[in-house]
Structure 1
Amino acid sequence: MSNVLDKAAYLKGIKHVGIYIRKSRLTGDLDEKETLAKHRTELVNFAKENKLEHTIFEEVVSGGKSDNRAEFNRMLNLTALEVYDALVVINWDRLTRNEADGARLTKTLRDSETVVIQLNPFEIIDLNNDGDVDKTSFMTFFGAWELRQIGRRNRAGKVRAALAGKWIGTVPFGYSRNHSTGFLEINEPQAEVYRRIVEMFLSGMTPRTILYTLNVENVPSPKGGEWNDTVVRRMLVDDVYTGTATFGKAKYIDRKIKKDKPRDEWIVVSNSHPAIIDEAKHNEILNNFDARKRINGRAQHGKHALSGLLICPVCGGALHFAKTPRGVWIRKCATVDAVGNRCANTDKGVAVAVVTEAIANQLEKHKATLLNPVKDTPDDKEKIDTKIKKIQADLAKMDKAAERLLELYEFGDIERAVYNERKARRLEKRAGVERQLAELYERANKNTTAAERIKAIDAVVEAIRNNDGSAEHIEKINKGLQRIIEKIIYHNDGEELTLDVHYN
């Protein structure tokens, strides 16, 4: 009780507080949930003992990252609205170890005249006091330095563990991690599936045929669902199954940007764990892939005029082509599902030359619609641009008003029914404004877009009509069509050819 009395004078005038609890993923002192519970108990007890109304903001995230600190950002937004008299934390570095966040935090606290109550050691920090500003700037700088040191120690620890044979990262299919030692052990049921995949591949089956077989038999994939082509291929070429552990293939510039590292910088540990197959078998797999790649490379004839454009009307899959003595023809849809069932489309094949001519005729008709006179003069276009800017500003104001409305509801200033009614009216009004903006964009772009599209149509139609069959000419047609057309849904029942052209 004396602890409360000692602090009472410092807490005078403070009634509403935000409690921020953060556990860093980089530290390894206690389990995340255990640490959060410990801090929460201490902070909440402090608020209750001192009769402080409180809101809890809690998350597990590094203090050096601001882009994924949802609770921290939410708390700062509410602090800027002067909701709290103080923020309560175990220690200042729970708030930030990031200098950019530190500057933002300082500005928010100063503008809202909100203080920070630090419990360990107990201190009231007022950012409108120059001495406290200097002190917190140093604490933020030191926190950022300490965070970098933790990161370095963490990475070094992972490297030492990897060199000692302990597994770092996701456990590969076919293995289990021994939680006591950190080493990989063979998961025999999964290992047997992997050995079977290897034998099927070396017997001549393709990865696609292998995955169909496994899916038909309901064999669970590494994630427990259906197998796919990529998973089978990666497992076959992965040297982890020879007992080799490879780490540090890439580094993250931040959580979103991954950069591959040169092979000579990788950490490769041989005989790191029990092997499921030997080196000879793994080399046989790699040689088999190389041989198939060479065969497939010779079998390919390059791009066709309609590559990447024709779509099956039944399954939505891409249609492919075959070179025949009569020229290049469109093949029947060959798309198959996860267990090998072929698409039910019964469309007939037809020569690509026939389809490209039909497309040229459709492009000529489409061109006629673009040749309609455009009413907007250059002066009108300037007015349209002005209107667009005004509507964009109006939409930004609407978004801010919607945020304020939500805040009123969250703070209990308005009832749910009132909030829903106002929100519905705002959404309806916003939808109308967005339609106006879309129409203005269309009018603003109409002149230049039409001229450019007409020019592109003329070029590709001329290329189709003068096709000499050379690879360069075919590539020119394909690029021209791709520039104008998003996709073509192709249907040919043997009597009538239908092309549903979707333009970009």
Structure 2
Amino acid sequence: MGLGLVTGLERAESSLVARRQIPGIAIECIAEMSAADVGVSSADRPTWFAELTVRRPLSQSCLWQMVQDAQRGKFDVVMAEALDGISRDQADVATLFKHLRFAGIPIVTLAEGEISELHVGLKGTMNALALKDLTDKTRRGLRGRVEKGKAGGGLCYGYSVLKTFDAGGERIRGDREIDESQAEIVRRIFREFASGKSPKAIAVDLNRLAVEGPLGRAWGDTSIRGHVSRGTGIINNELYVGVLVWNRQRFIKNPRNGKRVSRMNPENQWIRKEVPHLRVPVSSRMPINSPRSAA
């Protein structure tokens, strides 16, 4: 577990595997800890404790709940493997540090020791830059994959993952193939939509026939009509006509609640690649992005 809280120092003292003395406080130095190790009973466990078992930075709502619990005196010390295990956002780290220091609660990490203003400033900046660098590298890798005609992520309805391996036995990622059973449903949707049937009526019929929809869910009219500019929905997906489109949108984090929101990229930043082997032939269909599909 990347982060732990100690509510009873006497209990923590008796269960130490390794210890450091930081202003007279014995601190558990093991990165992997159970709920018993951090001295939090199930009855007293904070509502955000479950998030501590996940190896990722804490969400903004979780950090704010931690601040509130610190002000109520529900724990004595915050422990993490490293500062980026708490948050990689400079503002969040600084705000958390300020509130915890006011409450008299230290932040201690296995990598940096007790966190000070210096760590918040330097490590916070370094962690934010490292995250941005990782994001940029990932996007460059995805772009290279898309330009080779491979998927940049996700699995569209009508296709399945094609597992292939290179000469060294390494998995080749991004390959897709047509799933014929789902492709037949795609053809049916295009035929019925071209004949004038509404997306809602098509969805109702598919659900009545117990046809499994995208992601195993029931069909809805939005599953079929989607959003034209975003290329979502069956009738707007250009992959069915053999064109792979990537980088239509980007995601940024809302600073008010920490949730990701999508933003459309300019069309000149979209990457298009012809992939004729993924075209789903349809004998009679409404052209994708036609006026009616935008209705």
TM normalised by structure 1 equals: 0.43
Kindly report the root-mean-square deviation, in angstroms, between the aligned alpha carbons of the 2 structures: 3.7
Structure 2: gaps (5+ residues) = 1-15, 164-170, 226-232, 254-258
Q: Which residue of the partner structure matches residue 286 of structure 1?
A: 287
Q: Distance in 1 between matches of 2:19 and 2:157?
A: 57
Structure-2 residue corresponding to 1:22: none
Q: Residue 183 of structure 2: which of 161, 177, 191 is its match?
A: 191
> Shift of the alpha carbon at 1:226?
4.5
Distance 1:59 1:169, change over 3 A: farther
The residue number in structure 2 matching 1:163 is: 147
Contact 2:236 2:288 in 1 (8 A): no
Q: Deviations over 1:109-139 (max 9, x none)?
A: 3212222222135x234xxxxxx32233211
Distance apart, 1:107 and its partner CA: 1.4
Alignment of 1:58-457 (within 5 A): 58=52, 60=54, 63=57, 68-120=59-111, 123-125=113-115, 132-178=116-162, 180-181=171-172, 182-202=174-194, 204-208=195-199, 210-233=202-225, 234-254=233-253, 255-271=259-275, 273-277=277-281, 285-286=286-287, 290=291
Q: How much does 1:61 deviate?
A: 8.0
**Per the alignment, in what secondary structure is the counterpart of residue 144 of structure 2?**
helix
Shift of 1:287: 8.6
Is residue 55–residue 85 contact of structure 2 (8 Å, CA) maintained in 1? no
Count of aligned pairs between the two proteins? 250
- The C-alpha deviation readout for 1:271-313, integer Å capped at 9, x for no partner, is 17522127xx68x6229955x79xx9xxxxxxxxxxxxxxxxx
- Residue 53, structure 1, aligned to residue 39, structure 2: yes
Partners of 1:96 and 1:223 in 2: CA distance? 31
Offset, 1:148 = 1.4
Query: CA offset at residue 258 of structure 1?
Result: 2.5
Q: Which structure: larger Rg?
A: 1
Matched residue type, 1:169: G
Which structure 1 segments of 5+ residues have no match? 20-40, 126-131, 297-504
Larger RCO (CA under 8 A, 6+ residues apart): 2
Report the AA paired with residue 278 of structure 2. P
Secondary structure at 1:72 match in 2: helix
Question: Partner letter of residue 39 of structure 2?
Answer: E
> Contact 1:102–1:137 (CA<8 Å) still a contact in 2?
no
Paired with 1:83 and 1:288, the residues of 2 have a C-alpha distance of 56
On the 8 A contact 1:80/1:112 being kept in 2, the answer is yes
Give the match's secondary structure for 1:176.
Answer: strand
Q: 1:156 and 1:82, CA in 2 relative to 1: closer, same or farther beyond 3 A?
A: same
Q: Deviations over 1:231-261 (max 9, x none)?
A: 3344234221122211111223324443222
Contact 1:91 1:119 in 2 (8 A): yes
TM-aligned CA deviation for residue 266 of structure 1: 0.8
In 2 relative to 1, CA 187–248 (structure 1 residues): closer, same or farther, beyond 3 Å? Answer: same
Give the conservation status (yes or no) of the 8 Å contact 1:249–1:266.
yes
Identity %: 22
SS, match of residue 285 in structure 1? coil
Q: Using the alignment, how far apart are the partners of 1:170 and 1:101 within structure 2?
A: 30
Q: How far did residue 106 of structure 1 move?
A: 2.1
Greater percentage in helix: 1
Q: Name the CA distance, whole Å, in 2 between partners of 1:288 and 1:83.
A: 56
Q: 1:173 to 1:14 in 2, by over 3 A?
A: same
Looking at structure 2, the residues matched to 5 and 251 of structure 1 have their Cα atoms a distance apart, in angstroms, of 45
Displacement of 1:58 after TM fit? 0.8
- Native 8 Å contact 1:76 1:108 kept in 2: yes
User: 1:155: Cα distance to partner?
Assistant: 1.9
Superposition deviation, residue 165 in structure 1 = 2.4
Q: Could you tell me whether the CA contact under 8 Å between 1:183 and 1:273 is conserved in 2?
A: no
